[in-house]
């Protein structure tokens, strides 16, 4: 398995984080990670999402510095909180308050 690239904390760009979090599917994935810790991409995505679609969303999150993927995906909460205090809490508060159907 090849090593995936992750930006250093100092290189996490606010614009890229906001772009990654602008998509409602990715926000839902981040909320699941925040609630449940690490998980596999298909486990996190759940039923109904194609593996290629899940892979794309996790790639965008990883390259923006929102998640870390080794064998499992985890949220880089501490890194994001250190770099942009309060940002992730605000985004997740809105995500959890939104009323959405459960399907992707």
Residue 29 covered by a domain: yes
Residues 6+ apart with CB under 8 A from 97: none
Containing structural domain, residue 86: 11-97
pLDDT tens readout for residues 68-95: 998 899 999 999 999 999 999 999 998 8
* φ, ψ (nearest 5 deg) of residue 69: -120, 120
Does residue 51 form part of some domain? yes
- In a domain, residue 6? The reply is no
CATH of the domain at 83: 1.10.10.10
**C-alpha neighbours within 13 Å on the C-beta side of residue 96:** 12
> For residues 6 and 68, is the Cβ–Cβ distance under 8 A?
yes
pLDDT at 86: 96
pTM above 0.85, yes or no: no
């Amino acid at each position: 398995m090849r090593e995936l690239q992750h930006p250093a904390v100092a290189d996490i760009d606010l614009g890229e984080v906001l772009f990654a979090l602008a998509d409602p599917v990715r926000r839902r994935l981040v909320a699941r990670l925040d609630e449940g810790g690490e998980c596999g991409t298909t486990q996190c995505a759940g039923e109904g999402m194609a593996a290629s679609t899940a892979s794309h969303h996790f790639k965008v999150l990883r390259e923006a510095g929102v998640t870390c993927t080794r064998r499992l995906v985890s949220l880089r909460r501490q890194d994001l909180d250190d770099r942009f205090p309060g940002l992730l809490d605000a985004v997740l508060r809105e995500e959890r308050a939104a009323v959405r159907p459960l399907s992707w």
